[in-house]
C-alpha cells in the first residue's frame, strides 16, 4: 500500500484513524474541501489549512481542459502550482463527463465528448485519466468509471458496472508503480445491493489502496443512500480507507460515518458560502434574511473562524446584500471551519464510544432559516 491507514478506535461500524502519506497525515473521518480547478473558491491555501483541512480535492476533467495537465507538470506539479503542500486527491473526471460535458460518446476504449468550456472535442480513457493524475502529482488518484444518471434500470446499471470494472483494471495497470502515491477503486452498482456487493468483490480482486463508493447523492434520497452504504461497506476491506464521493450535508456525513465511511468531499460548504448561507450549531442561516439586519450577535458563538470572531450577523447581512466579495470569503471560511469542526467532533465521539448520541444531538439542531428575505 502506498499510503498507510491506521484505525485508532471503533464505535460500531464507524472508525477513526489516520491515512499516513509522505505529504502529511489525514485524520479520519476526513472532509476534503473541493478545489476543482486548483483553487478552493474565495479562499487562500493557508486559510483552508487553518480551518483544519488535511487534504484537498482537485479534478482531472477540469484541469485537463484548463490549464492542462502537461502545463501544470512543467510548472512543478499541482501542489506547487496551487501552493498547497498537504495531500491532494484527484477525481478521475467520470462524474463531470456525465454531468457537464456535451455530446458524449461512450465506448469500450473511453469517452469522447465536447468541452463545456469551448466545445472542443476531447477524449478520456482510463489510461489518459491516470496519466493526467500522474502529471498533476496528486497523492490519491481515482480510477476512471462511468457514472450513470439516476434513475436507471437494473439492466442498465449492471451493464455500466461491468464497464466500470473493466476500466478499473486498466486504470490500476496504468497507475503502475508510484511510490508515495495511492490509487483508489470506485464501487458502483446503483441502489442494487447485489450489484454493489459484486462491484466491491471485483475491486478487491484487483487490489486498491482505498475504496470509494460512487454513484450516490445523485437523487436517490438519504434513506436509499444509507441503505446502499449498509449493503456495501461490509464487503470492503477493513484495513483500507472508504470514501463516499460527493457527500454532502452534515446529516448525510454523520449518517455515513455511522455506516463505516472515512472520507468525504462536497461543494456544499463553499457554494453555500458564496450564496449567503452559513452552517451553524443552531442550524443553517440565510444571511439575506431581514431578521439579521440589526443583529449584533456572531454567526456562531462557539466558532473560531474570523467571520464569527470579528463580525456580526448584521455586517454579514449587509455585505451579502451588497454583493461584496468579502461576503463570499467570510462565509466560505466559516462553513469550511464548521465542516472541519464537525469532523473533529465525529472523531472524538468515535474515540469516546458515544457516536450514536452525538449524531442524535446533531439532528436536534434548529431547522433551516426559511424566513422571507427583504
3-state SS string for 187-220: ECCCCCHHHHHHHHHHHHHHCCCEEEECCCCCCC
Task: Please give the backbone phi and psi of residue 111, each rounded to the nearest 5 degrees, phi first.
Answer: -130, 130
- Using the predicted structure, report yes or no on whether residue 370 has a pLDDT greater than 60: no
Confidence of residue 148 (pLDDT cuts 50, 70, 90): confident
**pLDDT for 206-229, tens place per residue?**
999 999 999 999 999 999 999 999
Q: Provide DSSP, 151-186.
A: S--HHHHHHHHHHHHHHHHHHHHHH---TT-EEEEE
Domain span including residue 354: 275-362
Distance CA 168, CA 185 (A): 7
Residues in contact with 360: Cβ distance below 8 Å, sequence separation at least 6, in sequence order? none
Confidence of residue 101 (pLDDT cuts 50, 70, 90): confident
Question: Residue 213: is the preceding peptide bond cis (ω within 30°)?
Answer: no
**pLDDT for 15-38, tens place per residue?**
999 999 999 999 999 999 999 999
Percentage of the chain modeled with pLDDT above 90: 92
Check residue 369 and give its pLDDT: 65
Structural contact between residues 229 and 256, judged by C-beta atoms closer than 8 angstroms: yes
Check residue 128 and give its pLDDT: 97
Q: Are residues 304 and 174 located together in one domain of the fold?
A: no
Check residue 364 and give its pLDDT: 83
Give the other-Cβ count within 10 Å of 4's Cβ: 13
On whether residue 143 sits in a domain, the answer given is yes
Give the other-Cβ count within 10 Å of 105's Cβ: 11
Strands 140-142 and 111-114: unpaired
Alpha-carbon distances, residue 103 vs 160, 166, 183, 361 (angstroms): 18, 23, 29, 46
- Give residue for cell 469516546: 352
Structural contact between residues 164 and 146, judged by C-beta atoms closer than 8 angstroms: yes
Q: Are residues 205 and 280 located together in one domain of the fold?
A: no
Which one of 227, 242, 266 terminates a domain? 266
The separation between CA 96 and the C-alpha centre of its own chain, rounded to angstroms, equals 13
Active site residues: 91, 265
Higher-pLDDT residue of 57, 100: 57
The mean pLDDT of 258-266, rounded to a whole number, is 98
Q: What is the CATH number of the domain that holds 44?
A: 3.20.20.105
Residues in contact with 282: Cβ distance below 8 Å, sequence separation at least 6, in sequence order? 300, 365, 366
Q: Are residues 319 and 193 located together in one domain of the fold?
A: no
Check residue 367 and give its pLDDT: 62
| DSSP state for residue 366 in the 8-state scheme | P
Which one of 266, 284, 313 terminates a domain? 266
On whether residue 5 sits in a domain, the answer given is no
Check residue 373 and give its pLDDT: 43
- Using the predicted structure, report yes or no on whether residue 162 has a pLDDT greater than 60: yes
The mean pLDDT of 74-82, rounded to a whole number, is 98
- Using the predicted structure, report yes or no on whether residue 172 has a pLDDT greater than 50: yes
Check residue 98 and give its pLDDT: 80
- Using the predicted structure, report yes or no on whether residue 372 has a pLDDT greater than 50: no
On whether residue 123 sits in a domain, the answer given is yes
Which one of 237, 266, 295 terminates a domain? 266
Q: Are residues 35 and 78 located together in one domain of the fold?
A: yes
Q: Are residues 205 and 332 located together in one domain of the fold?
A: no
Q: Are residues 343 and 218 located together in one domain of the fold?
A: no
- Residue 208 C-alpha cell reads as 486498491
Structural contact between residues 269 and 279, judged by C-beta atoms closer than 8 angstroms: yes
- Using the predicted structure, report yes or no on whether residue 108 has a pLDDT greater than 90: yes
Distance CA 316, CA 276 (A): 9
- Residue 174 C-alpha cell reads as 496504468
The mean pLDDT of 333-349, rounded to a whole number, is 98
Amino acid at each position: 500500500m502506498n499510503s498507510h491507514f491506521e484505525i485508532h478506535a471503533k464505535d460500531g461500524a464507524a472508525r477513526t484513524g489516520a491515512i499516513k502519506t509522505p505529504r502529511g497525515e489525514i485524520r479520519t473521518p476526513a472532509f476534503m474541501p473541493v478545489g476543482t480547478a486548483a483553487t478552493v473558491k474565495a479562499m487562500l491555501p493557508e486559510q483552508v489549512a487553518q480551518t483544519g483541512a488535511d487534504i484537498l480535492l482537485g479534478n482531472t476533467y477540469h484541469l485537463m481542459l484548463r490549464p492542462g495537465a502537461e502545463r501544470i507538470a512543467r510548472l512543478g506539479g499541482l501542489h506547487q502550482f496551487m501552493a498547497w503542500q498537504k495531500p491532494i486527491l484527484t477525481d478521475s473526471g467520470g462524474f463531470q463527463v456525465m454531468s457537464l460535458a456535451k455530446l458524449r460518446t461512450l465506448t469500450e476504449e473511453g469517452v469522447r465528448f465536447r468541452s463545456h468550456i469551448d466545445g472542443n472535442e476531447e477524449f478520456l480513457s482510463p489510461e489518459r485519466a491516470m496519466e493526467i493524475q500522474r502529471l498533476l502529482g496528486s497523492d490519491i488518484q481515482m480510477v476512471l468509471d462511468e457514472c450513470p444518471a439516476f434513475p436507471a434500470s437494473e439492466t442498465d446499471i449492471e451493464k455500466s458496472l461491468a464497464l466500470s470494472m473493466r476500466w478499473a483494471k486498466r486504470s490500476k495497470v496504468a497507475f503502475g508503480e508510484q511510490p508515495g502515491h495511492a490509487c483508489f477503486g470506485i464501487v458502483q452498482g446503483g441502489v442494487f445491493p447485489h450489484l454493489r456487493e459484486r462491484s466491491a468483490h471485483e475491486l478487491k480482486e484487483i487490489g486498491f489502496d482505498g475504496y470509494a463508493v460512487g454513484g450516490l447523492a445523485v437523487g436517490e434520497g438519504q434513506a436509499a443512500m444509507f441503505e446502499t452504504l449498509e449493503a456495501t461497506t461490509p464487503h470492503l476491506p477493513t484495513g483500507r480507507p472508504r470514501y463516499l464521493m460527493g457527500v454532502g450535508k452534515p446529516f448525510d456525513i454523520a449518517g455515513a460515518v455511522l455506516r463505516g465511511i472515512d472520507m468525504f468531499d462536497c461543494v456544499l460548504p463553499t457554494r453555500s458560502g458564496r450564496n449567503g448561507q452559513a452552517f451553524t450549531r443552531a442550524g443553517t442561516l440565510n444571511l439575506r434574511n431581514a431578521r439579521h439586519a440589526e443583529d449584533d450577535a456572531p454567526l456562531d458563538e462557539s466558532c473560531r473562524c474570523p467571520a464569527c470572531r470579528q463580525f456580526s450577523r448584521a455586517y454579514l447581512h449587509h455585505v451579502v446584500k451588497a454583493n461584496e466579495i468579502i461576503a463570499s470569503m467570510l462565509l466560505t471560511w466559516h462553513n469550511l471551519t464548521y465542516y472541519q469542526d464537525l469532523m473533529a467532533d465525529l472523531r472524538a465521539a468515535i474515540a469516546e464510544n458515544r457516536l450514536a448520541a452525538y449524531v442524535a444531538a446533531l439532528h436536534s439542531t434548529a431547522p433551516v432559516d426559511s424566513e422571507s428575505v427583504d
